[in-house]
Amino acid sequence: MKRIVIFASGSGTNAENLIEFFHNRDNASVIQVLSNNSHAKVLDRAKKLEVSALSFNKIAFSKNEDVLNILKASAPDLIILAGFLWKIPESIINEFPNKIINIHPALLPKYGGKGMYGKFVHEAVVANHETETGITIHYVNSHYDEGAIIFQAKCEVNRLDTADDVAIKIHDLEMTHFPEVVNKLLNG
């Protein structure tokens, strides 16, 4: 049985989708959700779905090895960033090479990098009159959104679309594709 740990910072719809997808599967399960936001809704979602949920601060994450030690004890086969906004420390990347993935709400390399997440990405897509956007699932390395691309899915951006319209389309792509891509990674 493969073990999945999810890092998230916000509401946790992607985390919830992954937890539910792998619930009662014989190949993998989400064993833990970790958040840098003690008030994040993702913690409540995880607890309701009977998954261990913990929050941590910047010191535990990047100054000492508390989070790294939690991960070592959990022994995950895959670490998933699902709306997690902090850069992953080198110590964690080095301990789990090619075992950390992220989902980004754009077609990388466009609209990636520090500060490019959620509504900021969608606003930029609309402001630049893009005709398409999408999601990118990629490996995590020491640079924001620069790891090797695993999967991309596209959607059309219409002339009259607002950032909120784009957000809905991206959310639909995430809900559809993210669990399937994770499942293929774990089985491949």
The band of 187, judged by pLDDT with boundaries at 50, 70 and 90, is very high
- What is the 8-class DSSP label of residue 105? S
- pLDDT for 148-181, tens place per residue? 999 999 999 999 999 999 999 999 999 999 999 9
Would you state the structure tokens that stand for residue 177, as one six-digit string?
A: 């594709």
What is the C-alpha separation between 172 and 154, in angstroms, rounded? Answer: 11
Q: Please choose, from the candidates 178, 11, 168, the residue with its C-alpha nearest in 3D space to the C-alpha of residue 83.
A: 11
Those residues with Cβ within 8 angstroms of residue 48's Cβ, 6 or more apart along the chain or in another chain: none
- pLDDT for 34-74, tens place per residue? 999 999 999 999 999 999 999 999 999 999 999 999 999 99
Pairing state between β 149-156 and 2-8? unpaired
What is the C-alpha separation between 10 and 1, in angstroms, rounded? Answer: 28
- pLDDT for 7-27, tens place per residue? 999 999 999 999 999 998 999
Is residue 141 within 8 Å of 106, Cβ to Cβ?
A: no
What is the C-alpha separation between 6 and 30, in angstroms, rounded? Answer: 7
Pure H helices in 33-133: 41-48, 58, 66-74, 90-95, 118-127
- pLDDT for 78-133, tens place per residue? 999 999 999 999 999 999 999 999 999 999 999 999 999 999 999 999 999 999 99
Calculate the CA 156 to chain-centre distance. Answer: 22
Order of all β-strands in the sheet with 132-139: 52-55, 28-35, 2-8, 78-81, 100-104, 132-139, 149-156
Which domains occur in the chain, in start order? 2-104+136-149+174-187 (3.40.50.170)
Q: What's the confidence (pLDDT) of residue 182?
A: 98
Measured CA distances, 72 to 10, 79, 95, 113 (Å): 24, 11, 8, 28
The band of 188, judged by pLDDT with boundaries at 50, 70 and 90, is confident
This prediction's pTM: 0.96
